[in-house]
Structure 1
Amino acid sequence: LKMSTESTPAQAGLCLFCLSTVCGRPQINSRIVGGQVAPEGSWPWQASLHVSGGHRCGGSLINNRWVLSAAHCFQGSVTVYLGRQSQQGSNPNEEALRVTQIINHPDYDSNTINNDISLLQLAETVSFTTYIQPVCLAAPESTFHTGTDSWVTGWVPLPFPQNLMEVEVPIRGNRECNCNYGVGRITDNMVCAGLRSGGKDSCQGDSGGPLVIKQNSRWIQAGIVSFGTGCAQPDTPGVYARVSQYKTWINSHITSNQPGFLLFTSSGIDEDLSFTCAGLPTVPAPTPSESLP
């Protein structure tokens, strides 16, 4: 996987095809081994976005006409490859599609990398197969506590084998992540993930690619690979656009067959609430709830 290491970069009326019931269900079991080649078909929403003839960024299929990616990825025309396993060998299960429209978030800031999210409209309708399926998206109010297991996928850059890779990384809370990057750097529109000790990171994956979390039998996209510092360094987790912040914006552009949004809820108390460092505001004490009559 390769993450950007610089700070730049239901059908209407009748639910014949409800994405909230079919999304995030690979037909091939996902074998999760951090940093290993992903079994073909285990991440069927993964997209390879090509610019000027070469792989540029990752993305995720969210319905039969739209792909989700990062705003910092795009300059020039884009071709989307779905069902792709290798960037070098044959890909008998893939489909190549033209992109008719790229919609970056209007508040994307290339300096702070805030709101690093983009929608790509495909020229043709995608036919779902074993190897091409949509992912679910995290609904508003989803919570991702520190330590929550997540996975990121993408293609390792040359000279490594160009097969789709997968790596498991734990969520790091936004308070901790702000302490890592400088207080104020990490906004509520971001989510972080990585080992405190380093060694695993989305720098082993592609910008624009999905960070997903499993809930029961469903895979939910929590983040979009956005930026980081170095590669798998201690105390510098990867930073992702927080998908749950963008349902209203996404659905304002996808008006039919809208993506499946599912609520992800972490259990217990988030240890990030007690994380502190110089300059980081304390968490306000919760207001006692009024007694019921």
Structure 2
Amino acid sequence: MRSNTVLCVALAVLLYLTGSFGQQDVCGQVSLNTKSIVEDAELIYDGIDATEGFWPWQVSINSIGSNEIVCGGSLINKDWVLTSASCLSFINNLDSSYFIIYLGRLKQFGPNTHEVNRTVSDFITHPNYTSSTSENDIALVQLSSSVDFTAYIKPVCLAAAGSEFDEGLLSWVTGWGSTSSGDFSEILQEAEIPIVSNYNCSFAYIDKRFKITDNMMCAGLSGGGKGYCNGDIGGPLVTKQNSRWIQSGIISLRCFSSLPSVFTRVSKYQDWINTQIVNNQPGFIKSPYYNNTPTSSIPDIPKVPDVPDIPDVPDIFSGSSPDLHLFPFYLTFTIISLIFCPFF
């Protein structure tokens, strides 16, 4: 009798844990950022100073010795940062303890009231990263200890496999990299830029003999313009969907002032990320978008009547839930509990 009771208790605990392994329902939620999907009819091509707390997933990867920024990244859960493999190529030749991660940072110099920092516990570059082609330019950095989420430090949601981003879709890129003056920025910069289709981006890069693959995406002006530059590598490209911000790209290729910016396409790497982060996996959201650039070719979307708020329930069947891989485990223990526990 006692052993069976213990079994039932254990099963109940397992059921609870199964539902808590995934990313908390906080990704991409920003209480301080009131930007709309389309900020202005006139796009912001040259970066402007960001407001503190607007991009709480933005991290700065700096060298401890000089305290200068090496590259950017984004917080994806309490223990991991997403960045580019080209960023970590600097670390491969050095000890990981040479680098420090700043979270909640706005200014590179002077005090940051809401800032915390961590050293690097581990880093993982994609095994098929090729520096000459920038293919599979993605990497993960494990923090030395977990961070607490605040209004100024929160994870971003990631674009799930199968996500699509139409040409012209307005997105935001952030970083402390080089400005038009050639110097790194002291204050975090933000710029709103449109998605460029891979077809048009490939045509723009034809003279550079650089291939835009399905694992990449582009944003900016088809003929060039301000986007990201040196020092921004590894940082996020994000788009707002309803109330959530979703990272669609990772800043990858070095900047060309006359060409669109090139990013690693995050949605192509959901499986790889989930195999590297076993516990508390990031929040993936599938993102089919309407092109949000004003145009008469976009059909009107019928207004949906207001309905009462209901609790969020993980959508395990759409592939957007980070706990999808745990569903069979959860179901098995649920059935066992229902069959045996009522008899004890």
TM range (shorter): 0.7 to 0.9
2:31 corresponds to which of 27, 42, 46: 27
Aligned equivalents of 2:200, 2:254: Cα separation in 1: 14
Equivalent position SS for 1:110: coil
> 5+ unaligned residues in a row in structure 1: which ranges?
1-10, 269-293
Aligned equivalents of 2:59, 2:255: Cα separation in 1: 24
Q: Which residue of 1 is the match for residue 200 of structure 2?
A: 176
Please state which structure has a larger fraction of its residues in helix: 2
Q: Which residue of 2 is the match for residue 146 of structure 1?
A: 167
Q: Contact 1:20/1:136 (CA < 8 Å) preserved in 2?
A: no
Aligned equivalents of 2:143, 2:56: Cα separation in 1: 17
Q: Contact 1:155/1:206 (CA < 8 Å) preserved in 2?
A: yes
2:82 corresponds to which of 68, 86, 106: 68
Q: Give the total of aligned pairs.
A: 255
In terms of mean alpha carbon deviation, does 31-40 or 254-263 score higher? Answer: 31-40
Identity of paired residues, percent? 48
Q: Contact 2:176/2:184 (CA < 8 Å) preserved in 1?
A: no
Q: State the Cα deviation string for residues 74-99 of structure 1 (Å, max 9, x = none).
A: 22332110000000121111111011
Describe how 1:35-184 pairs up with structure 2 within 5 A: 35-51=47-63, 52=65, 53-74=67-88, 75=91, 76=94, 77=96, 78-157=99-178, 159=183, 161-182=185-206
Q: Which residue of 2 is the match for residue 238 of structure 1?
A: 261
The one-letter code sitting in structure 2 at the alignment partner of 1:213 is: T
Q: Contact 1:36/1:166 (CA < 8 Å) preserved in 2?
A: yes
Aligned equivalents of 1:249, 1:174: Cα separation in 2: 23
Equivalent position SS for 2:100: strand
The one-letter code sitting in structure 2 at the alignment partner of 1:148 is: L
Q: Contact 1:209/1:225 (CA < 8 Å) preserved in 2?
A: yes
The one-letter code sitting in structure 2 at the alignment partner of 1:150 is: S
Aligned equivalents of 1:202, 1:101: Cα separation in 2: 27
Aligned equivalents of 2:243, 2:230: Cα separation in 1: 25
Instruction: Name the TM-score, length of structure 1 as normaliser.
Output: 0.81
Change (3 A) 1:147 1:90: same
Please state which structure has a larger fraction of its residues in strand: 1
Equivalent position SS for 1:211: strand
Describe how 1:185-224 pairs up with structure 2 within 5 A: 185-203=211-229, 206-224=232-250
Aligned equivalents of 1:44, 1:161: Cα separation in 2: 18
Change (3 A) 1:264 1:89: same
2:271 paired with 1:267: no
Larger Rg: 1 or 2? 2
Q: CA deviation at 1:204?
A: 7.8
Equivalent position SS for 2:267: helix
Change (3 A) 1:12 1:44: farther
Q: CA deviation at 1:19?
A: 2.8
Aligned equivalents of 2:269, 2:24: Cα separation in 1: 16
Q: Contact 2:53/2:152 (CA < 8 Å) preserved in 1?
A: yes
Q: CA deviation at 1:267?
A: 3.2
Equivalent position SS for 2:252: strand
Q: CA deviation at 1:21?
A: 2.5
Instruction: Name the TM-score, length of structure 2 as normaliser.
Output: 0.70
Equivalent position SS for 1:245: helix
Aligned equivalents of 2:199, 2:137: Cα separation in 1: 20
Aligned equivalents of 2:172, 2:125: Cα separation in 1: 24
Q: State the Cα deviation string for residues 115-151 of structure 1 (Å, max 9, x = none).
A: 0000001110110011000000000000011101111
Equivalent position SS for 2:17: coil
Q: State the Cα deviation string for residues 1-31 of structure 1 (Å, max 9, x = none).
A: xxxxxxxxxx983434753631001120244
Aligned equivalents of 1:138, 1:224: Cα separation in 2: 11
The one-letter code sitting in structure 2 at the alignment partner of 1:188 is: D
Q: CA deviation at 1:196?
A: 2.5
The one-letter code sitting in structure 2 at the alignment partner of 1:63 is: N
> 5+ unaligned residues in a row in structure 2: which ranges?
1-14, 292-344
Aligned equivalents of 1:113, 1:262: Cα separation in 2: 25
Q: CA deviation at 1:177?
A: 1.0
Q: Contact 1:145/1:171 (CA < 8 Å) preserved in 2?
A: yes
Change (3 A) 1:192 1:222: same
Aligned equivalents of 1:193, 1:135: Cα separation in 2: 19
2:275 paired with 1:252: yes
Aligned equivalents of 2:254, 2:198: Cα separation in 1: 14
